[in-house]
Structure 1
Amino acid sequence: MWLTAGYPLWWALGLGQFAFWLFAVPMVIELVRRHHAGRPLFLPSGFTLWVLFLVWSVAGLVLVGLTPAGALAGTGGMLGAIMRIITYLALTVLMLYVGNLSRTELSDLRIARALGWLCLATVAGGLLGTFWPYFEFTSLVEMLLPGSLAGESYVQALVHPSAAQIMDVLGYESPRPKAPWEYTNTWGNMLSLLLIWLVVGWVARGSTRRQLIGVTAIAVSVVPVVYSLNRGLWVGLALSVAFALVQLLRRGRIAAVSLCAGAVALALAAVLVSPLLDILQERADNPHSDDGRAVASAAALRAAGDSPVVGWGTTRAALGSGSSIAIGKSPECPQCGNNTIGNNGQLWLLLIANGWGGTLLFLAFFAQAAWRHRGDLSLVGSASLLSILLLFWYMFFYVALTAPLAVSMIAVALLWRRSREKTPTVVSTLESGVR
């Protein structure tokens, strides 16, 4: 619970995604303790697929030093590849930890409320980034790092807390909120996922006070959502609403469907008559990153075609960008330079880093989990299923590491343990993992 509920503190300290590594240690210790105490260690169905994906990721390290066609030589960093694998391992531990705790030890509602609290922090960070975009400070971790390392742009994104990314998307510089996350795209991805749990833990199953806080947060989140200029987020929210309506229909909740549809209509009407509409229209007229994304995506496909089994181990810098074949940026061409192949979405990251083999294993694990538990129409079951399904939308635009993938892994754990605890017989470790 401290990992999710305390994340704003970890962000402020400069730990950010490294908090998932740190908290994986006591989780492993607890799992080992339970095993030594004679309690079975359960594994989710399809876990073999995930283990094979981890093996694929390690195997790809052999190719990190090589250069695929269309990539800049010497840009495959071993450190980044190893960090990515450590993150996958840490999130594996998180999934196993949640899945092995009974609902008596750690209830679904406690998890939903912790994620809902994190949503409140994300909404607050969005408002901070919208209205006070230049807010930033030096974190404790940043102070402790050597200056040469702390000054690296990638390290800065991880350890230097700031409210927004200032970007030229509409033809002029404008802030795009990101606190308490590393990037504005991560902020959008997380907000979309966490809103689900805010509804479950605070609005649907909370006290009057919690409900008021939750509804207010949802209402005010519209402002940073629009100012984030995040088209993937906008569509993702629409897909979430559509999914919720379908689930309500499957449960025969016709009145609830009508109420939700009316609330959505009112929200859209409010946006259409507000200044936010101008922002939406400006964003539609300025595709901004489309060319660069197309170039990077095509390069990832080519790289996967050249090494389809295990990929190339990690990302690479492309030769040029969607704006120019020039190698570096300049004042005359700020969009020139090198797109990072695999940095524009989890799918493209998987393709270049792990090839078609690793990509299929990764996606198959989540697909089988969603399919296996599709019949869970409960509130928590539906929220968990949606948290997994959204991965298949956002993978085209956002890299899921680290926090977004953590939410999806928690969702898998919730569905798996709910299904297991409905079964009257206790299955052994290996039996539950193989089935």
Structure 2
Amino acid sequence: MTRPAWPIAALLVGYPVWWALGFGGLSVIVLAVPMAVVLWRRRPIRVPRGFGLWVLLLAGYLVSALMLTETPPGTYGEFGPGRLLGYAMRLALYCSVLVMVLYLGNLTERELPQLRLVRMLGVLFVTTVAGGLLGVFAPGFEYTSPVELLLPEWLGENSFVRNLIHPTAAQTQKVLGFSSPRPEAPYEWANAWGSNASVLLVWFVVGWWAYGRVRHRVFVAVVVALAAIPVVYSLNRGLWIGLGLAVVYLVVRVGGRTRVALCGAAVAAALAFTLSPLAALFGQRLDKPHSNDIRAFTVSATLAAAGHSPVIGYGNTRNARGNHRSITTGRTEWCQSCGHPPLGSDGQLWLLIITQGFTGAALYVAFFLGAIRRHWGDRSPIGLAGVLVMGFVLLYMFVYDGLVTPLSLYLVSFALLWRNASLQESQP
């Protein structure tokens, strides 16, 4: 691999180091700087179709800053450093992932072969499985990162910032009626682990199974079997639905022997899972839809608040008054379950609606829908996988936040589709 491609290797293969240092999902912001330098030196810069939609999304986010001082009805909170910090963080991430896409699309196949990029994502999947197993078997693992030690106390104790810079193995929640550790290492939240695991699984299978030899395929089978443990213990219904729909998608889109082999593998995997101890935990989670009421409350509150600024939103999230159990704002001795959930915290779609209005949400959806429409005819393994991931984006936006790490993986997948189309166009 030639020198210009090192930042993406540092981002994907070197991600465990970033996480251990406390940068984690913020690593893309750091690495966007050398990527931008590479792009500047090789002008003119090629851009993908649909590029204008993301630029408009960024422009809209800049305009939404005008509403940062406003407090919509049904919410509370004062304008201050925390709100500005959240806004700046999201803006930096939106800009950084755009730089990353342009960087990937402007590297030649010789500088960064497609298969090498796909296999880098596969390496990150192995890291994700290892982190998931750590969360299952050592859920209490955590430590103070170097970045956390360097930050001022007022910043490090901000809940949003702390999730990004404080390495933890699992997120403990009362999902099944008792405290249940949900794997999150090496990412910022348990839901981010679920979203990333499904996206990376797709590329792991493509890179090491579809384009692999016998020994690679044995390795894939072993890792995927191990991955089933944290996938179930994550209690992520969105992840489970995504994986189920992925199987349906592939059965419909592939043909011949591949379809037969896929169906056989799916049946065998389902049988093995049914006979394993994991099946009981899976059933318990389905019987306890713990988060439904919370999500219904925050979504309805988000839509109500966004209705007062439907075009440009409010630049950042706001705290709702009360929650799904009580009108009380904040936890009290007599109401330990009371709180003030941030609006837009239950899915990227809702986050966009509160921060950038319905306009921003429409641009986001149009960007990924456009990618599916343009690349639907690409039936290569990378084409099929990339379109599947774009489908994941549109599914998960209802239940998972795209920020921080998931959005980076979504945009790397988008870049793979763009690069694949360019390679096919260049072939005689």
What TM-score bracket applies, with the shorter chain setting the length?
over 0.9
SS in 1 for 2:76: coil
Do the aligned partners of 1:327 and 1:336 also contact (CA within 8 Å) in 2? Answer: yes
Find the partner of 1:5 among 4, 13, 35: 13
Answering whether residue 310 of structure 2 is matched by residue 304 of structure 1, we say: no
Do the aligned partners of 2:26 and 2:404 also contact (CA within 8 Å) in 1? Answer: no
Do the aligned partners of 1:325 and 1:337 also contact (CA within 8 Å) in 2? Answer: no
Of residues 208-217 and 99-108 in structure 1, the stretch that sits farther from structure 2 once superposed is 208-217
Do the aligned partners of 1:384 and 1:408 also contact (CA within 8 Å) in 2? Answer: no
SS in 2 for 1:175: strand
Alpha-carbon distance between aligned partners in 1 of 2:227 and 2:423, rounded to the nearest angstrom: 36
Do the aligned partners of 2:298 and 2:320 also contact (CA within 8 Å) in 1? Answer: yes
Q: Which amino acid aligns with 1:268?
A: A
| Residue 424 of structure 1: how far off its partner (Å) | 4.8
Alpha carbon RMSD of aligned pairs, Å? 1.5
- 1:43 is matched with 47
- 2:396 is matched with 394
| Residue 337 of structure 1: how far off its partner (Å) | 1.1
Number of equivalences: 417
State how 1:57-136 maps to structure 2 within 5 Å.
Answer: 57-74=61-78, 77-136=83-142
SS in 2 for 1:170: coil
- 1:360 is matched with 362
SS in 1 for 2:201: helix
State how 1:344-359 maps to structure 2 within 5 Å.
Answer: 344-359=346-361
Alpha-carbon distance between aligned partners in 1 of 2:214 and 2:162, rounded to the nearest angstrom: 41
Query: How far does the alpha carbon of each residue in 1:370-421 deviate from its partner, in whole angstroms, 9 at most, with x for none?
Result: 1011100000111111111110000001011122111221222222222233
- 2:210 is matched with 204
- 1:423 is matched with 425
Alpha-carbon distance between aligned partners in 2 of 1:320 and 1:75, rounded to the nearest angstrom: 19
Do the aligned partners of 1:321 and 1:338 also contact (CA within 8 Å) in 2? Answer: yes
- 2:34 is matched with 26
What stretches of structure 2 of length at least 5 have no aligned partner?
A: 1-8
| Residue 331 of structure 1: how far off its partner (Å) | 4.8
Alpha-carbon distance between aligned partners in 2 of 1:83 and 1:245, rounded to the nearest angstrom: 40
State how 1:363-374 maps to structure 2 within 5 Å.
Answer: 363-374=365-376
- 1:430 is matched with none
Do the aligned partners of 1:75 and 1:317 also contact (CA within 8 Å) in 2? Answer: no
| Residue 335 of structure 1: how far off its partner (Å) | 2.2
Of residues 371-380 and 361-370 in structure 1, the stretch that sits farther from structure 2 once superposed is 361-370
| Residue 334 of structure 1: how far off its partner (Å) | 3.0
| Residue 212 of structure 1: how far off its partner (Å) | 2.3
SS in 2 for 1:82: helix
Alpha-carbon distance between aligned partners in 2 of 1:184 and 1:236, rounded to the nearest angstrom: 15
State how 1:241-390 maps to structure 2 within 5 Å.
Answer: 241-249=247-255, 254-390=256-392
Do the aligned partners of 1:13 and 1:139 also contact (CA within 8 Å) in 2? Answer: yes
Alpha-carbon distance between aligned partners in 1 of 2:50 and 2:231, rounded to the nearest angstrom: 35
Find the partner of 2:177 among 171, 181, 185: 171
Distance 1:424 1:129, change over 3 A: closer
Alpha-carbon distance between aligned partners in 1 of 2:153 and 2:71, rounded to the nearest angstrom: 30
Alpha-carbon distance between aligned partners in 2 of 1:312 and 1:183, rounded to the nearest angstrom: 24
Do the aligned partners of 1:135 and 1:163 also contact (CA within 8 Å) in 2? Answer: yes
Do the aligned partners of 2:382 and 2:420 also contact (CA within 8 Å) in 1? Answer: no
Alpha-carbon distance between aligned partners in 1 of 2:299 and 2:127, rounded to the nearest angstrom: 32
Q: Which amino acid aligns with 2:10?
A: W
Alpha-carbon distance between aligned partners in 1 of 2:12 and 2:79, rounded to the nearest angstrom: 33
Alpha-carbon distance between aligned partners in 1 of 2:141 and 2:129, rounded to the nearest angstrom: 16
- 1:183 is matched with 189
Of residues 91-100 and 144-153 in structure 1, the stretch that sits farther from structure 2 once superposed is 144-153
Alpha-carbon distance between aligned partners in 1 of 2:139 and 2:297, rounded to the nearest angstrom: 30
Q: Which amino acid aligns with 2:290?
A: H
| Residue 261 of structure 1: how far off its partner (Å) | 1.2
What stretches of structure 1 of length at least 5 have no aligned partner?
A: 426-435
Distance 1:151 1:306, change over 3 A: closer
Find the partner of 1:156 among 159, 162, 167: 162
Alpha-carbon distance between aligned partners in 2 of 1:322 and 1:241, rounded to the nearest angstrom: 35
Q: Which amino acid aligns with 2:349?
A: L
Distance 1:396 1:218, change over 3 A: same
- 1:428 is matched with none
Alpha-carbon distance between aligned partners in 1 of 2:231 and 2:25, rounded to the nearest angstrom: 22
Distance 1:331 1:163, change over 3 A: farther
Do the aligned partners of 2:148 and 2:166 also contact (CA within 8 Å) in 1? Answer: yes
Of residues 188-197 and 207-216 in structure 1, the stretch that sits farther from structure 2 once superposed is 207-216
- Percentage of matched positions with identical amino acids: 45
SS in 2 for 1:165: strand
Q: Which amino acid aligns with 1:363?
A: V
Do the aligned partners of 1:303 and 1:351 also contact (CA within 8 Å) in 2? Answer: no
Query: How far does the alpha carbon of each residue in 1:170-200 deviate from its partner, in whole angstroms, 9 at most, with x for none?
Result: 1111110000001100000000000001001
SS in 2 for 1:360: helix
Do the aligned partners of 2:18 and 2:24 also contact (CA within 8 Å) in 1? Answer: yes
Query: How far does the alpha carbon of each residue in 1:88-146 deviate from its partner, in whole angstroms, 9 at most, with x for none?
Result: 00000000000111222211101110000000000111111011111112211112122
SS in 2 for 1:320: coil
Alpha-carbon distance between aligned partners in 2 of 1:159 and 1:234, rounded to the nearest angstrom: 28
Q: Which amino acid aligns with 1:7?
A: Y
Find the partner of 2:198 among 188, 192, 196: 192
SS in 2 for 1:423: helix
Query: Normalization by structure 2: what TM-score?
Result: 0.94
Alpha-carbon distance between aligned partners in 1 of 2:90 and 2:38, rounded to the nearest angstrom: 24
Answering whether residue 226 of structure 2 is matched by residue 224 of structure 1, we say: no
- 1:54 is matched with 58
Query: How far does the alpha carbon of each residue in 1:46-68 deviate from its partner, in whole angstroms, 9 at most, with x for none?
Result: 21111111000010010011011
